[in-house]
Amino acid sequence: MLGTNDSKPHNWNAPEYERELAEFVEIYKNLPNCSAVYLLIPPAAFISKGKKEVAFKISDVVIEKEIVSTVQKIAKKMNAPLIDIFSATRDHPEYFPDGVHPNALGNEAIAETIYAVLGK
């Protein structure tokens, strides 16, 4: 589940993110006894009440408009199972008191989303 911190303006480089994510998957897939590498689309990010932007310079727009599709693309290209945390959190700002870090309800929703895929 990589991408939230990558979305910061001083970190974001779309081609580099895509290349490094693919390399990351390849490295882990080639480890001895690796049965699977799952990619997780990171959660949504929100502007907290009373703020003008998402905390910590996280870009909610980059996450939604670029990172989601890039992770989907790499998962398909690398034949890696995908877990979509973004879709599970996109309509739930109440899960993220500071707009970025999940509270207990957010952690539960994320865990349930992961379990729905891994528990099969």
Could you give the residue ranges of the DSSP H alpha helices within the chain?
A: 14-29, 60-62, 68-77, 85-89, 104-118
Closest CA to 41 of 9, 13, 23, 17: 17
Residue-wise pLDDT for 4-51, tens only, equals 999 999 999 999 999 999 999 999 999 999 999 999 999 999 999 889
Taking residues 49-74, what's their average pLDDT? 96
Name, in order, each residue with C-beta under 8 angstroms of 82's C-beta and a sequence gap of 6 or more: 38, 39, 40, 41, 71, 72, 75
DSSP 84: E
The pLDDT value recorded for residue 49 is 87
Count how many residues are written for the chain.
120
Residues 58 and 6: their CA atoms lie apart, in Å, by 8
Q: Dig out the tokens for 102 from the structure.
A: 């999940």
pTM attached to this predicted model:
0.95
Name, in order, each residue with C-beta under 8 angstroms of 19's C-beta and a sequence gap of 6 or more: none
Residues 51 and 118: their CA atoms lie apart, in Å, by 36
Q: Domains plus CATH for the chain? A: 5-118 (3.40.50.1110)
DSSP 98: T
Query: Quick one: what percent of the chain has pLDDT higher than 90?
Result: 96
